[in-house]
Amino acid sequence: MTPNRIFLVGPMGAGKTTVGRRLAQLTGYRFIDSDHEIERRAGVDIPYIFEKEGEAGFRLREKRVIDELTLEDGIVLATGGGAILDPENRQALKSRGCVAYLHASVDEQLRRTRYGTHRPLLQTADPAARLTALMEQREPLYRETADIVVETGRRFPKAVASQICLALQQHESALASHPPLFLSDH
């Protein structure tokens, strides 16, 4: 059995959208990308939101979308790379579904994002330094939030999605056979 809410976290370029679509096909769930949902609701793209509202304005929009979407059943949700920065987002993700952290090295992120122009945080003279700094800040938060960690590397998205399905099934079985331990003061 696979949980009915699967949330993907990880850095830009880890493959959350591509793997998420494959995972949705495998599970029969609906795929949602939180960044695309933000753009749909705003009627403009994320670079425009960053330009007009700054990162803080974007993060506020992201928080509202994640709060709503994490309550929907039968979904695979790909979150933006910085969604885990907000403690309330981390709590919503962790408490409302199973979280898979798609890990990709900085070199792999660079390879995958080098031609994109739609990533405001990479519009800098040194994208490698920016990605390294972002990973140093965010890596502990991805791991703290995740139920499982999957290395994406140069693997095919279908193989990564299959591995996530298997890992989530094993995770659910472990939870079912070992209910949570409740400690008492007495």
What is the mean pLDDT of each successive set of 10 residues along the chain, which is 186 residues long?
84 89 95 96 92 93 97 96 95 95 84 59 67 89 93 85 87 57 34
Distance set, CA 156 to CA 11, 140, 161 (Å)? 17, 25, 9
Kindly state the tokens that stand for 128: 């490698």
What's the rounded Cα separation, in Å, for the pair 84 and 90? Answer: 5
Q: Are strands 30-33 and 75-78 parallel, antiparallel or unpaired?
A: parallel
Which residue is it, tokens 């090295």? 105
Single-letter residue type at 84: I
- Which H/E stretch holds residue 103? strand 98-103
Rounded to 5 degrees, what are φ and ψ at 137? -75, -40
The H helix count followed by the E strand count for the chain is 7, 5
Instruction: Specify the pLDDT at position 128.
Output: 78
The number of angstroms, rounded, from the C-alpha of 132 to the middle of its chain's C-alpha atoms is 18
Rounded to 5 degrees, what are φ and ψ at 139? -50, -50
pTM of the model: 0.84
By C-alpha distance, which of 145, 151, 177 is closest to 164? 151
Single-letter residue type at 16: K
What's the rounded Cα separation, in Å, for the pair 133 and 139? Answer: 10
Instruction: Specify the pLDDT at position 143.
Output: 93
CATH top class, domain 5-177: alpha beta
